[in-house]
Structure 1
Amino acid sequence: MQALSPFGVGAIVDMLGESFVAEDVTRWKGRRMTLAAPRIAAHFGAEELRLPPAPRDGRLPYYRFPQWLFCGTCRTMTRWSVGQEQPGRIPRCQHCGRSPQLVPMRFVAVCGNGHLDDVPWIQWAHSGGGQGREQRQCGRAELQFEHLTSVGGGLESLRVRCRTCRAGRNLADLTSPHALGRINFRCRGRQPWQRDTEAVSCDQAPVVLQRGASSVYFPDTGSAIDLPPDSDWVTWGGTAARVEQNPYFALLHTDPDGPMREQLISFIAEQENVNERQVIAILNDRLGTTGADAGSEGSEDLAEREWQALTNPRAGHHPDDRFITRHTPFPASTGHGRLDPVVDRMRTAISDIVLVDRLREVRVLRGFRRHTMDIRIPAHLGTRSTSLPAVEVYGEGIFLVFDEENLRRWELQAPVVRRAATLHKRFAGSMHARWIESSPTPRLVLLHTVAHLLMRQLAFDAGYPSSSLRERIYASTPDSDTPMAGVLIYTAAGDAEGTLGGLARSGEAGRLVTTIAATLAAARWCSLDPVCRESKSQGPSGLSMAACHACTLVSETSCTMGNVLLDRTLVIDDEYGFMRDPLAELIAVQAGTT
């Protein structure tokens, strides 16, 4: 899982005083292991999804970066090279008697096009002006990283000095936007592990950032749920599996339109005791050509496919299917004690409940961005077939469908429209618009907030760690042909923790009423109210309103939108909150028992 994020391709990793950057998937070592998910691979524009190698099968390569290191004792700077690397040994200073460990410089050069490089320390040291000879006059640059005790704190107290010609310059202006441009340093258009022959032309001006800054690396990840028929056992474990394992199928898959096509199909059908149409169907499915062109699917198409599968559970399942869902009766109006009046009001908001007993989620690292996020660098930098890093996880969940008719009336109310329009205006000019694919509509903000409130409550009721819960929001746009209004709360983990059964069980009739009632009660009050509830701008770029860590925000790993586009008042406000009627009944019940 961590091979995708936070230690995915392009990420800088600090470990035991050393610093490395993860190389792209074309440089992965060891046995090639792929994930059987052709439709999902085609959706993400890849020919195959590649699993990170297990420790016994290979390794993920990491490149030492920054290459400029310094000694904490004598302060001598050294540019480390690949040729100096020795397996199992750390870089040590060659100028000190005790050979202490060398420390990586904490500054790196990045550009908006995603390129990463070392800071040109030699040029910087010789650009001080009036402190010594020019760089072209210094035949041999030996640098020293000094701490000036005569100067106060900050970057002014740090200086890089040439020991040969005595030229030097402090770091006061190093992080200014045009600092590297003024010393004529241009972006080299590559990643640290790439050769100069792999560089591309880049017109972006690099800037200097601390290597641990959050803007140095933005992973671009995506996920999809494995849906029927791909998730059916008969597809991945039955006939299809036998056909794929046939030695002739590899030849057919490599050259599906070659002169041997018909003969290969005939051989496979005869050996596996299937008809030729089945072989062709399996081949087309593995090539990603069955039905609609999966490679042209957008995020909305993927969401619609998942919506259709979730809202239409099948009657029967094989025990080994990877997508098992079932309808659950909506809680009856009686049998809930004091909460009986609340249930009737819940029916006006929630129209259907589906329990997901098992699902398989495929998570993919499409690439990464840096600094201004202008361009996405793909996780596969090779020129041949496209592979993307991916992992598969299994889990369970609860799917809530909201009443479409009531929701349409609600999202036309003037206060609702105004609040959503404010968020939409801020979102359009923010950095989040570069990676969040959904535009903030009243429906999206409402469903997203409900998902967060439910996750916070389910973390208590289902017994799962809050960071293991995830959300999927199904919110159609006004011009969509398929109305969608649903929330899937699920857990997906790389081991058995994701399928313990506690989450799906929380969606059963006997427990769901209590869960929703507790969610509304918790959402009504925030420890930071009235400040939080009356806030018109919270979070990055003001992309949330009444939502803070005390009431609505969840773990970063749980949210698909970076904990923004949230507004608690759209759920519980006395005037325009979508859940105001069941909340009012709940308040009345609580008042009657006091």
Structure 2
Amino acid sequence: MTDRRLRRMQALSPFGVGAIVDMLGESFVAEDVTRWKGRRMTLNAPRVAAHFGVDELRLPPAHNEGRLPYYRFPQWLFCGACRTMTHWSVRRERAGKAPHCTHCRRGPQLVPMRFVAVCGNGHLDDVPWTQWAHSGGGQGREQRQCGRPELQFEHLTTVGGGLESLRVRCRTCRAGRNLSDLTSPRALTRIGIRCRGRQPWQRDSEAVTCDQTPVVLQRGASSVYFPDTGSAIDLPPDSDWVTWGGTAARVEQNPYFVLLHKDPEGPMRDNLISFVAEQENVTEKQVVAILNDRLGATVTDADSETSEDLAEREWKALTNPRDEHHPDDRFITRPTPFPAPAGHGALEPVVDHLRQLISDIILVDRLREVRALRGFRRHTMDTRIPADLGARSSSLPAVEVYGEGIFLVLDEDNLRRWELQTPVVRNANTLHKRFTGSMHARWIEATPTPRLILLHTLAHLLMRQLAFDAGYPSSSLRERIYASTPGADTPMAGILIYTAAGDVEGTLGGLARAGEAERLVTTVAATLAAARWCSLDPVCRESTAQGPAGLSMAACHACALVPETSCTMGNVLLDRTLVIDDEYGFMRDPLAELIAAQAGMA
């Protein structure tokens, strides 16, 4: 049988804790971090871990270092030949072996049932097929009268397609029921089934009280699993070589520092600090700082840091590039002039207007991003289940990726004047009202202001164009939106478009190069030209509600949507008119000059 292997990145998403994984005709669910086996590997990112509220960030083990526990689910299986249903158990598992039918002579591989029971509090369970088969009655029998139920999953050839043609029947008492009502909201409640309040891999002793009504969904339905992921960029001073690899690494390897780390408040503390400082030729303050960093007692109040605080820290680091960098730093930025002083030809009038709207361009030659899986939700997303269900553990699954990007900053004065226009405020208020009452508000940590919608839409338009100009596939580009709310102490209006890979060497540099002065003007002009006309216009441009819950306006797959891996907001809160509308679009002036230039060249 083919080996069941996943890449380390896949263990975070899309096959992270709580996700159902279909592989080689089998179906599994990923267990929580507490049950991970093998050598314990953590990421060196104490400030990021503190931001997520945990003590450590755990790397999924590589295939040669351990294993990720995946629990066979659903446990109800059936044979495609004889249609006999089998309730599997952990005791019957054999390493690397798939379940096979014991009722057939040839023993074909068993197939997992395609329905599961979920609730809005995030719990997952098998469909109670025994109770379902007996709930329809059969020759006057009820479930309590059948001592040894043996089930069979039948396909009725005398009935048309759909769930009516499928039936679960008890071979012992001949009771049976088709699946026509199985997916109705109260199907399980009517037969006396309540949520057991646990995940499939948990024991009954680990269950919690749950008042939700379970519903039956297909195991591949999108609402069975909503991962809750978060990410943070490694920033100075943590990203500096002197902190993570230079002096800090040397100090950490000192045997006296190892003793100090084991007992940081012991009677020998001062002497050990002195010994380390003398042997490694550093100051005692540096030793204490490294010790505090490794213990998680950082100088910033990271334990109470919110998503807004994190965005503000990243904004300050991005907008204040350093003059010098060590080549091994994990965060390397440099400013670039925008636009270039000359050489734009027919685009010169366009450049004059872009100069007024875009204040700064920062090239990010190297960055390290830490991505963590905080937990997951199911069905109506009422409750988030943490990725670590252990009583004493405090860790989250995480991976690190290295890459590059372009950081674009809009002019604050022009943006503030634009935000006050009546059509702009009207569109933003409409989306804000829809967003407040939607399921998306439970996981999107953003406020739909005119600024946010503009920046988000512009990021999507740029990513679609950069996929051509920079040579990266569109699914590998990602966005980070920096949009301050009205009255914020630090005004923010920026877009970071970046790409990252699991290799420590990062990516090839094509994206950062696309942001250089002589290239970016052409890219922005091409972006505006492409956004001006959608193949679904005028329907798309005049639309007031598109996408889930109507949370976008003029934005569709033909003009503004990007792969789900690229967007931080699930491809909602988009409106192309805020960028290119002739009356109130933020980029209307450079777009008008671009149209005139194109007409002159025709």
Both structures adopt the same fold (TM-score exceeding 0.5): yes
Is the Cα contact below 8 Å between 1:333 and 1:340 reproduced in 2?
no
Which of 294, 319, 324 pairs up with 2:332? 324
Q: Which residue of 1 aligns with 2:572?
A: 564
Query: For residue 280 of structure 1, what is the amino acid of its counterpart?
Result: V
For each residue in 1:200-245, what CA deviation from the matched residue of structure 2 results, as whole angstroms up to 9, or x when unmatched?
Answer: 1111111111100000000000110000000000000111112223
Say whether residues 1:160 and 2:160 are aligned partners: no
Query: Which structure 2 residues correspond to residues 49-448 of structure 1 after superposition, within 5 A?
Result: 49-129=57-137, 131-448=139-456
Query: For residue 357 of structure 1, what is the amino acid of its counterpart?
Result: D
TM-score for both structures, normalised by structure 2: 0.97
Query: Which structure 2 residues correspond to residues 523-542 of structure 1 after superposition, within 5 A?
Result: 523-542=531-550
> Structure 1 pair 260/126, CA: closer, same or farther in 2 (3 Å)?
farther
Q: Which residue of 2 aligns with 1:508?
A: 516
Q: Which residue of 2 aligns with 1:40?
A: 48
Say whether residues 1:495 and 2:503 are aligned partners: yes
Is the Cα contact below 8 Å between 2:138 and 2:174 reproduced in 1?
no
Give distance in 2, aligned partners of 1:232 and 1:484. Answer: 25
- More displaced, 226-235 or 172-181? 172-181
Q: Offset of 1:249 from its aligned partner?
A: 3.8
Is the Cα contact below 8 Å between 2:366 and 2:506 reproduced in 1?
no
- More displaced, 304-313 or 255-264? 255-264
Q: Which residue of 2 aligns with 1:477?
A: 485
Query: For residue 17 of structure 2, what is the amino acid of its counterpart?
Result: V
Is the Cα contact below 8 Å between 2:164 and 2:178 reproduced in 1?
yes
Query: For residue 542 of structure 1, what is the amino acid of its counterpart?
Result: G
Q: Offset of 1:582 from its aligned partner?
A: 0.6
Q: Which residue of 1 aligns with 2:3?
A: none
Query: For residue 575 of structure 1, what is the amino acid of its counterpart?
Result: E
Give distance in 2, aligned partners of 1:260 and 1:109. Answer: 57
Which of 572, 589, 592 pairs up with 2:597? 589
Is the Cα contact below 8 Å between 1:48 and 1:388 reproduced in 2?
yes
Give distance in 1, aligned partners of 2:504 and 2:522. Answer: 27
Q: Offset of 1:157 from its aligned partner?
A: 1.2
Q: Offset of 1:263 from its aligned partner?
A: 4.2
Instruction: Flag structure 2 segments of 5+ consecutive residues without an equivalent.
Output: 1-8
Is the Cα contact below 8 Å between 2:134 and 2:143 reproduced in 1?
yes
Query: For residue 222 of structure 1, what is the amino acid of its counterpart?
Result: G
Q: Offset of 1:280 from its aligned partner?
A: 1.2
Give distance in 2, aligned partners of 1:255 and 1:126. Answer: 63
Query: For residue 534 of structure 2, what is the amino acid of its counterpart?
Result: C
Q: Offset of 1:248 from its aligned partner?
A: 4.4
Give distance in 2, aligned partners of 1:537 and 1:257. Answer: 60
Q: Which residue of 1 aligns with 2:4?
A: none
Identity of aligned residues (%): 85
Which of 542, 554, 559 pairs up with 1:551? 559
Give distance in 2, aligned partners of 1:260 and 1:198. Answer: 43
How many residues are paired up? Answer: 594
Query: For residue 433 of structure 1, what is the amino acid of its counterpart?
Result: A
Give distance in 1, aligned partners of 2:401 and 2:121. Answer: 32
Give distance in 2, aligned partners of 1:488 and 1:588. Answer: 30
Query: For residue 156 of structure 2, what is the amino acid of its counterpart?
Result: L
State the secondary structure of the residue aligned to 1:165: coil
Which of 3, 6, 16 pairs up with 1:8? 16
State the secondary structure of the residue aligned to 1:416: helix
> Structure 1 pair 259/217, CA: closer, same or farther in 2 (3 Å)?
farther
> Structure 1 pair 260/574, CA: closer, same or farther in 2 (3 Å)?
same
Give distance in 2, aligned partners of 1:249 and 1:32. Answer: 21
Give distance in 1, aligned partners of 2:262 and 2:157. Answer: 66
Give distance in 2, aligned partners of 1:131 and 1:575. Answer: 73
Deviating beyond 6 angstroms after TM superposition, the runs of 4 or more aligned structure 1 residues are none
Give distance in 2, aligned partners of 1:138 and 1:346. Answer: 77
Is the Cα contact below 8 Å between 1:333 and 1:344 reproduced in 2?
no
Q: Offset of 1:574 from its aligned partner?
A: 0.5
> Structure 1 pair 245/202, CA: closer, same or farther in 2 (3 Å)?
farther
Is the Cα contact below 8 Å between 1:14 and 1:20 reproduced in 2?
yes
Give distance in 2, aligned partners of 1:124 and 1:231. Answer: 57
Query: For residue 592 of structure 1, what is the amino acid of its counterpart?
Result: G
Give distance in 1, aligned partners of 2:338 and 2:545. Answer: 37
Is the Cα contact below 8 Å between 1:311 and 1:354 reproduced in 2?
yes
Is the Cα contact below 8 Å between 2:340 and 2:518 reproduced in 1?
no
Query: Which structure 2 residues correspond to residues 436-475 of structure 1 after superposition, within 5 A?
Result: 436-475=444-483
Q: Offset of 1:132 from its aligned partner?
A: 3.6
> Structure 1 pair 249/198, CA: closer, same or farther in 2 (3 Å)?
farther
Is the Cα contact below 8 Å between 1:364 and 1:391 reproduced in 2?
yes
State the secondary structure of the residue aligned to 1:35: coil
Q: Offset of 1:175 from its aligned partner?
A: 0.9
Is the Cα contact below 8 Å between 2:231 and 2:372 reproduced in 1?
yes
> Structure 1 pair 313/131, CA: closer, same or farther in 2 (3 Å)?
farther
State the secondary structure of the residue aligned to 2:10: coil
State the secondary structure of the residue aligned to 2:135: coil
